[in-house]
Amino acid sequence: MTVVTIHEQFARFREQAAEVMHGLYHGMIEHPAFEQIEDEAMDQEDAFFFACFADAFGIPSPVSYYTAELLPYLAEDFEAWERRMWDRDSVLDWKGHFHF
């Protein structure tokens, strides 16, 4: 029968904890899916802003009358969104990285 000392148990625990922490770090930060999730979140935000504030680009929308009350809360994000939308050449330029 082998006797495992407390030092060996702690060493084994530290190795397992280090492996788990490395896996968490890799899964949450390093993994390439992070960029895809960020792109999808930006696309969702762009669609939301376009649905709410389409009249900013000359497209009449009755929803804009009701969503104008959100503008003070979304002013910082709205400016960045509007700048992104005007910098795009076309919708295909916007969605071109999805290869459809």
Residues in the chain, overall count: 100
pTM: 0.54
Contact 81, 46 (CB under 8 A): yes
Tell me the HSE value of 48 on the side-chain side, using a 13 A CA sphere: 11
**Measured between alpha carbons, how far is 33 from 48 in angstroms, rounded to an integer?**
22
**pLDDT tens figures, 33-92:** 777 888 888 888 888 888 888 887 788 888 878 888 888 888 888 888 888 777 766 555
What's the distance, CA 40 to chain centroid? 6
